[in-house]
């Protein structure tokens, strides 16, 4: 069996929701022994939709299932001294602790990094919260849309005649988990080079803001502020309808404009003003009209394959969740993992983020039931 990169690590995951748990799950997938420590009432993600069979049941949240694969689970009431003592004894041998409580909560229980590192100087602790540990908003309540609004990204999402638009789902949470993993792994590398653990403060707001590498410097370079696109007239870079759905295309990549014009077909596209970047920007409405007219009888799949294979155009189609569930490319990339869950049963779960043939992720167990490993783990203390 191939060695797993992180199979010598013990991790305590006290985080709830999606961001912290995804961070800890990534470490678990690469081999770490992750113990999920939930309060007696369970992680809030256990109440997050969607649920298997639409049944709002503690063990049927598909979000909890996704974010806690490969972890063992215990329940501890850290507001009681017995619970705190159990946690402290686990901390003594832990390498990493992940948490997402409201800033100040763990300090109020004597479980802040200063206290924990006093009993285990090797400990790396990461807090992933909506606004970070410091600053005037650190105690603010948040929800995905609130983090999103304050990140800046909503100001450029949607159309200018309407309200700013949140992206679908829980993007800041996934992003926070992925970005948090980078910080933990960097601290781990530093620990091995320099011998001590440290504390990391991650703000989900800043995670999303830090993706605005086009938007932010426009102000810093010129004082320019991008807004939301107009409702019509420049949907170049926006989805356009075709026979059975929607598609999106861009210039750049390997295709010349002449090839793009040939792919779509109309002769008007082959001459000015459409042959230059600024001409296309200025005549966006006309460009949209020509392209929409030319593609109204073509299917998404045909457009996607022809544009990609024959013309090497940057081209996308609007795939629905069911398309992704059946996607042959995801199948070939082994994106899904079959999970046997004691309550849910057998189910395919999105799992593999990328391939590393010499040190692949491994699937070992489904998400834990609430308190499933109490006897095994707490009994051993």
Partner 1 sequence: MIRMSKKPLEGVRIIDTSYVFAGPYATGLLGDLGAEVIKIEGPTRPDFTRGGNFSGLLPDNEHRPDPWNCMSSYNIVNRGKKSLILDLARKEGRDVLIDLIKISDVIVENFTPRVMRGWGLDYPNMKKINPRIVMISNTGYGRGGPYSEYPAQATTQEATHGLAAVTGYQGGEPSKAGQSYVDFLAAWSCSSAALLGLRHRQRFGHGLWADIGMYQLGCFNVSEYILDSIANNKLGVRIGNRHRQFAPQGCYRCEGTDDWCAISVRDDQDWAALCNLMEKPELVNDPRFAKVTGRQEHHDYLDTVISAWTSRFSKIAVMERVQSVGVPAGAVLDGRDLHFNPHLKSRGLIEIVNFPPERNVGLQRPMLGRPWKFSAASLSIKGPAPTYGQHNQEVLRETLGYDDARCAALEKDGIVVDKPLKTRDIPDMSMDKRVAIGRLAYWDRDYKKRLGIS
Which residues within the stretch 13-42 sit at the binding site for partner 1 (CB under 8 A)?
Answer: 26, 30
Ramachandran angles phi, psi of 136, nearest 5°: -60, -20
Which one of 59-67, 80-88, 100-108, 373-381 is the stretch in contact with partner 1 (CB under 8 A)? 59-67
Question: In angstroms, rounded to a whole number, what is the distance separating the alpha carbons of residues 303 and 236?
Answer: 16
**Region from 289-297, 312-320, 362-370, 373-381 binding partner 1, contact rule CB under 8 A:** 312-320
Beta bridge partners of 248: 316
User: x/- binding map, residues 81-110, to partner 1, per CB under 8 A?
Assistant: ------------------------------
> Contact at 8 Å (CB) between 336 and 350?
yes
Rounded CA separation 216/157 (Å): 15
Of the candidate spans 2-10, 84-92, 102-110, 261-269, the one that interacts with partner 1 by CB under 8 A turns out to be 2-10
DSSP-derived 3-state class of residue 348: strand
Q: Which residues, including other chains, have CB under 8 Å from residue 21's CB and lie 6 or more apart?
A: 13, 15, 36, 43, 45, 67, 68, 98, 177
Looking at the Cβ atoms of 1 and 49, the one nearer to partner 1 is 49
Closest approach, Cβ 325 to partner 1, in A, equals: 5
Q: For partner 1, how many residues bind (rule: CB under 8 A)? A: 164
Q: Which of 152, 265, 273, 371 binds partner 1 (CB under 8 A)?
A: 152
List 107, 115, 122, 209, residue binding partner 1 (CB under 8 A) = 209
Of the candidate residues 62, 102, 294, 369, the single one contacting partner 1 (CB under 8 A): 62
**β-bridge partners, 159:** 229
Which of 24, 68, 175, 367 is the binder for partner 1 (CB under 8 A)? Answer: 175
For partner 1, which is the closer residue by CB, 107 or 319?
A: 319
Residue 58 CB neighbour total at 10 angstroms: 15
161 binds partner 1 (CB under 8 A): no
Length of the chain measured in residues: 381
Q: Which of residues 120-149 bind partner 1 (CB under 8 A)?
A: 131-137, 140-149
Pull the structure tokens for residue 128: 């992933």
372 lies in the site for partner 1, by CB under 8 A: no
Task: Please identify which residue in 122, 155, 362, 374 interacts with partner 1, judged by CB under 8 A.
Answer: 155
Q: Could you give the maximum distance between any two Cα atoms of the chain, in Å?
A: 78
The binder of partner 1 chosen from 40, 104, 110, 217 (CB under 8 A) = 217
CB count within 10 Å of CB 31 equals 21
Selected from 12, 76, 86, 154, the binder of partner 1 by CB under 8 A is 154
DSSP character at residue 72: E
58 contributes a contact to partner 1 by CB under 8 A: no
287, 232 Cβ separation under 8 angstroms: no
Site string for partner 1, 284-303 (x = CB under 8 A): x-------------------
Question: Which residues 6+ apart lie within 8 Å of 112 measured at CB?
Answer: 106
Which residues fall within 8 angstroms of residue 99, CB to CB, at 6 or more apart? 14, 15, 20, 106, 125, 126, 127, 128
């Amino acid at each position: 069996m191939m060695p797993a990169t992180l199979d010598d690590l013990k991790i305590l995951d006290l985080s709830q929701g999606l961001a912290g748990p995804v961070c800890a799950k990534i470490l678990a997938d690469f081999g770490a022994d992750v113990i999920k420590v939930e309060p007696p009432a369970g992680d809030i993600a256990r109440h997050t939709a969607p649920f298997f069979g639409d049944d709002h049941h503690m063990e049927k949240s598909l979000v909890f299932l996704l974010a806690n694969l490969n972890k063992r689970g215990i329940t501890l009431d850290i507001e009681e001294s017995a619970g705190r003592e159990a946690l402290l004894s686990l901390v003594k041998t832990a390498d990493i602790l992940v948490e997402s409580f409201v800033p100040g909560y763990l300090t109020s229980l004597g479980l802040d990094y200063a206290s924990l590192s006093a009993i285990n100087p090797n400990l790396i602790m990461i807090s992933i919260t909506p606004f970070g540990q410091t600053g005037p908003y650190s105690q603010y309540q948040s929800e995905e849309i609130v983090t999103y609004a304050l990140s800046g990204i909503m100001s450029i999402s949607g159309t200018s005649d309407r309200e700013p638009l949140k992206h679908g789902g829980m993007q800041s949470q996934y992003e926070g988990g992925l970005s948090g993993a980078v910080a933990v792994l960097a601290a781990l590398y530093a620990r091995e080079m320099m011998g001590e653990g440290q504390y990391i403060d991650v703000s989900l707001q800043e995670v999303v803001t830090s993706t605005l590498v086009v938007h932010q410097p426009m102000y810093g370079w010129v004082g320019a502020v991008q807004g939301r696109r107009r409702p019509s007239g420049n949907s170049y870079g926006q989805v356009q309808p075709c026979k059975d759905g929607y598609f999106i295309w861009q210039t750049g990549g390997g295709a010349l404009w002449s090839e793009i014009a040939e792919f779509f077909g109309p002769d008007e596209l082959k001459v000015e003003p459409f042959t230059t970047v600024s001409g296309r920007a200025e005549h966006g409405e006309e460009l949209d009209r020509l392209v929409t007219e030319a593609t109204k009888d073509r299917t998404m799949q045909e457009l996607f394959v022809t544009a990609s294979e024959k013309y090497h155009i940057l081209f996308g189609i609007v795939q629905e969740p069911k398309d992704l569930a059946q996607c042959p490319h995801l199948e070939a990339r082994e994106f899904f993992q079959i999970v046997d869950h004691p309550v849910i049963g057998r189910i395919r779960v999105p799992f593999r983020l990328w391939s590393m043939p010499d040190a692949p992720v491994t699937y070992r167990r489904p998400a834990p039931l609430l308190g499933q490993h109490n006897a095994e783990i707490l009994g051993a203390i």
